[in-house]
Structure 1
């Protein structure tokens, strides 16, 4: 009869091994890409692309304009220093620093929501609005 318990013990040990392996895989998992869409305020130019990090993490952003320009740069999470002024809880924001193939550069500051981030900033001489959706 002691052998009848052996398969259950082996199964339990195997399950623990698999669970331990999965726990290690979570931090080794590749970054996920989020969709990015945007538009310029004063010109009829739109952007599509992706961010390689979650909206509340660090990564990079890569965009393509419908006019052919390619823009890319780092995206990172930053503390929102204004939260105390409006009596809000501690929160985070994101910022992207972009450089485009046509020579434009700029920064976009994002407000983080549950499943998206909305950002506004300057790109070259115009205002740009971008939305990151997970």
Structure 2
């Protein structure tokens, strides 16, 4: 059995947007008891992250690290058609991921105790991001 659901995530700009609940609902609605859930983000300037969800400082520290690693407006980059965060957003995406796989067990995404699923927006302005949640059982 294969089921897919498309989500739209409205971001507020750069930062993390928790989609764990929406992914869990998509898995539950699929009716699968065992299988695999794939989450795919259809963009090149945002990414998906499976990250600790208990302490928000983890996500703040990740953002601080990436801000140091890939600076907005860095003169190294020529691609800046949409502003100084344009190419840095693409670099951040390439260094992370746009797809996650999570096992399905007992009718739900079988996440660890402290794991959450996030869309990590790399652009500074708000966007609507398209995410497909596919479940195979």
- Is the shorter-chain TM-score for this pair beyond 0.5, marking a shared fold? no
**Structure holding more strand per residue:** 1
> Which one has more relative contact order, counting CA pairs under 8 Å at least 6 apart?
2
Larger Rg: 1
TM, length-normalised to structure 2:
0.28
